Amino acid sequence: MKITNFILIGFILSLFLISFASATCTVTFTKTTHVEGETVTANLICSENGEKNTAYTLNWTNSSGYQLELDTGTTPSVRNTLFAQTYLIPSGYVANYGDTLNATLQGTGLEGTDSMTISVPASGNLIIKNISITNIISITLRAVRLRSGVPARIRKSLEHRGKNEKNPKNPKNRQKGGPPLKPPETLGYPPGGGYPPPASLSKAD
């Protein structure tokens, strides 16, 4: 009888210990590698009732255990609900802290960790941040003006020049009160225009 009781007690204890051991949260990075200047996201999820509404800390460390950042919070009130914390990798991380980044979840009855590799941005890495659509439009318009920025007077001269080459004696192709407008290269412009007129040639000859 005593042996049976010991076996029963041992079985109950083993079930309790197994359930307690499985009561862990998971920490998972969205990527296994990052470069300096990027933001790391750690996804966390807890699956047991004893892990609900529990205060936690997420400790960001390097390979030697040096604390880089400490985030705090409370686990969700519903099991298996995803929550997350982020860490911005500073420039010079690899030189100062090494090439490893860890995130470890800590709290009463909570545990979980994940690691990743950090690298220095190479010439092929493009990190875009704090970009403004207004700046893009401004740059685009400025480029258009540079390509098509021939003054109206020169554009008109070019148009008349094309007409005069077809029929130079046509009076319609002559400027009122004078001869046909001169081509732009005689005004100090290279053929095709595209440059602002020199100060000494503010008016056509």
Q: Concatenated DSSP letters for 53-84? A: T-EEEEEEE-TT--EEEEEEEE--SSTT--EE
Instruction: Specify the pTM.
Output: 0.52
* Domains in the chain with CATH codes: 23-119 (2.60.40.1930), 133-194 (no CATH)
The phi, psi pair for 183, rounded to 5°, reads -65, 160
Amino acid at 199: A
Query: pLDDT tens, 68-125?
Result: 999 999 999 999 999 999 999 999 999 999 999 999 999 998 999 999 999 999 865 5
Whole-number pLDDT of residue 64: 95
**pLDDT grade, residue 199 (50/70/90)?**
low
Q: Between 124 and 53, where is the model more confident?
A: 53
pLDDT of 39 over the 90 cut: yes
Whole-number pLDDT of residue 70: 98
